[in-house]
Amino acid sequence: MARSISYITGSQLLSLKRRPSIAVVDVRDDERSCDAHIAGSIHYASGTFSEKIPNLIQDVKGKDTLVFHCALSQVRGPSCARRFADYLAEIKEDVGIKNVLVLERGFNGWQASGRPVCRCNDIPCKGEKA
């Protein structure tokens, strides 16, 4: 069963952000370290994303919703979300993830709207859970 990929607005994500069942996955490459990031997000660069999907599944254990984004969420964010959803369909194992979403307008839209960002260099980000 192929999972559908839906989009979520920054406002919707901000209102759901306190839920412990959501993980935000930043798939930007090097720009994450210079441009800041959504607080509490986890980083899986798009260039190496496919081979690290099993690690991502471990990192998001207990989450039921993953929100992917890149800078604009036009190419990397949606394509990584699709690869992740396809992987889940292939393994035919219930890992508890019910929703695979893409953040509309990506990180740039999030930041331009004045939403909170974190500038830490911690891996994983110890900022407020997103």
CA–centroid distance for 81 within its chain = 8
In a domain, 127, yes or no: no
CA–centroid distance for 37 within its chain = 11
User: Which residues of the chain register pLDDT less than 70?
Assistant: 1-2, 32-33, 128-130
In a domain, 101, yes or no: yes
Give the structural domain span for 15.
5-117
> Which CATH number does the domain housing residue 79 bear?
3.40.250.10
Whether residue 54 has a cis bond before it, omega within 30° of 0: no
| Rounded Cα gap, residues 113 and 66, in angstroms | 21
In a domain, 125, yes or no: no
In a domain, 126, yes or no: no
In a domain, 40, yes or no: yes
In a domain, 79, yes or no: yes
Q: Are 60 and 41 in contact (CB under 8 A)?
A: no
Query: Residues with catalytic annotation?
Result: 70
Q: What's the pLDDT score for residue 2?
A: 53
| Rounded Cα gap, residues 123 and 40, in angstroms | 10
Tens digits of residue pLDDT in 29-54: 877 667 789 988 999 999 999 999 99
Predicted TM-score of the model (pTM): 0.92
In a domain, 123, yes or no: no
Q: Which of 44, 60, 64, 55 is nearest to 3 (CA)?
A: 64
User: How many domains does the chain contain in total?
Assistant: 1
In a domain, 52, yes or no: yes
Spell out where 1-130 has E strands: 5-8, 22-26, 37-38, 42-43, 65-69, 99-103, 117-118
CA–centroid distance for 52 within its chain = 14
Q: How many CB atoms lie within 10 A of CB 96?
A: 12
